[in-house]
Amino acid sequence: MNCALIVFAKAPVAGLAKTRLAPALGAAGAAAVAARLLDRAVRAAVDAGVGPVELCTAPDTAHPAFQRLQRELGVTLTTQGDGDLGRRMNRALTRALQAHDRVLLTGTDAPALDAARLREAAIALTTADAVFVPALDGGYALVGLARPAPALFDGVPWSTSQVMAATRERALAAGLRWTELAPVADVDEPADLAHLPAGWLGGLGGAGDADPGAAPP
């Protein structure tokens, strides 16, 4: 199927990535978790095998973790650019839809978004205009589109528990046919650390700024 997959990611740098985890892990520990989540998300995207994978990054593509994933997995590196999250996601999706019939976009915060779930989302887009994987905190971990839908991203209260509810309202108003898959947990707050794979919190040290070459898949 002609489906592209975009992974949105911040550079896993202390003080920039996963800052809400810092009270529990410290800035470096939070960045180390971000590095592992990044690695896992991109490998799941590639393993899904639904189409080309784009790693869309902030603030730029220079971080060693991004460069390593490009070398090892052959992903395309792009930058998110300016604007709020909705503007950046809409821009990336609209651009990809110029070359592909369907596009999925994920972040890196939901370790339960594995290759099988991504394939399920890609299949859902063969009969729907949009697909979502809601997050347990009221947001969503994945959005997929079969046609541009800028209204989905306009005026949404990002980083709140109302994101998915607001998105449903916009999808209904836009006349979209959409599918929602089973919800997953995001890892944003210290309480969410329980959703990390076993063993991830051991030996984090100060590796948050480094290339996570040994990060588990």
For 59-97, the pLDDT digits (tens) are 999 999 999 999 999 999 999 999 999 999 999 999 999
H/E stretch holding 23 reads helix 22-48
What confidence category does residue 202 fall into, taking pLDDT thresholds of 50, 70 and 90? confident
pLDDT in tens, 142-191: 999 999 999 999 999 999 999 999 999 999 999 999 999 999 999 999 99
**Tokens coding 13:** 């740098």
CA distance 200 to 89: 29
CA distance 116 to 169: 28
Q: Is the full-model pTM beyond 0.85?
A: yes
Domains of the chain (ranges, CATH numbers) = 3-191 (3.90.550.10)
C-alpha distances (whole Å) from 167 to each of 55, 110, 140, 153 are 24, 19, 9, 8
Measuring CA to CA, which residue among 150, 149, 133 is closest to residue 141? 133
